[in-house]
């Protein structure tokens, strides 16, 4: 009965590189959410996806960030040309449907050197 799986747990990138964060939702869940936690801050909503659809990306930075949840495979959060300010913990959550309880993964800690 695996929960939400995120990998990698830790990711180190140099400035200008690309970061790819993966999230596999809980079994039976078709809704995925990405949140970011900057140091000393609370979690901030980034994007909400269903299979093959972006439902709400109002929390995503306008440039360099993108997310997808393909028909097959995990959801991917992609950050192009990373900068030091992207260093944060990125959490994925999933739910069975809208307005259902969110279950969070353990997060990916991104460090940009």
Partner 1 sequence: DQQVKQNSPSLSVQEGRISILNCDYTNSMFDYFLWYKKYPAEGPTFLISISSIKDKNEDGRFTVFLNKSAKHLSLHIVPSQPGDSAVYFCAAPPQGGSEKLVFGKGTKLTVNP
Residues in contact with partner 1 by the rule CB under 8 A: 4, 6, 9, 31, 33, 35, 40-45, 48, 55-56, 58-59, 91, 93, 95, 98-107
Q: Please identify, using beta-carbon distances, which residue of 17 and 104 lies nearer to partner 1.
A: 104
Q: What whole-number distance in Å separates Cα of residue 78 and Cα of residue 81? A: 10
Which residue carries 């960030």 as its tokens?
A: 65
Q: What whole-number distance in Å separates Cα of residue 68 and Cα of residue 102? A: 18
Shortest gap between Cβ of 53 and partner 1 (angstroms)?
A: 13
Q: What whole-number distance in Å separates Cα of residue 70 and Cα of residue 25? A: 12
What is the longest distance spanned by two Cα atoms in the chain? 38
Which residues make Cβ contacts (< 8 Å) with residue 41, sequence separation at least 6? none
Shortest gap between Cβ of 107 and partner 1 (angstroms)?
A: 6
Shortest gap between Cβ of 38 and partner 1 (angstroms)?
A: 10
Q: Please identify, using beta-carbon distances, which residue of 13 and 31 lies nearer to partner 1.
A: 31
Q: Please identify, using beta-carbon distances, which residue of 9 and 78 lies nearer to partner 1.
A: 9
Q: Please identify, using beta-carbon distances, which residue of 14 and 27 lies nearer to partner 1.
A: 27
């Amino acid at each position: 009965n695996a929960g939400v799986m995120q990998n990698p747990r830790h990711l180190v990138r140099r400035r200008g590189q690309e970061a790819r964060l993966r999230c596999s939702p809980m079994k039976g869940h078709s809704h995925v959410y990405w949140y970011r936690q900057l140091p000393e801050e609370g979690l901030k909503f980034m994007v909400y996806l269903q299979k093959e659809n972006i439902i709400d990306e109002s929390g995503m930075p306008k440039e360099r960030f993108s997310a997808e949840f393909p028909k097959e495979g995990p959801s991917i959060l992609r950050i192009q040309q990373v900068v030091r300010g992207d260093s944060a913990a990125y959490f994925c959550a999933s739910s069975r449907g809208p307005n259902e309880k969110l279950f969070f993964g353990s997060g990916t800690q991104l460090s940009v050197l």
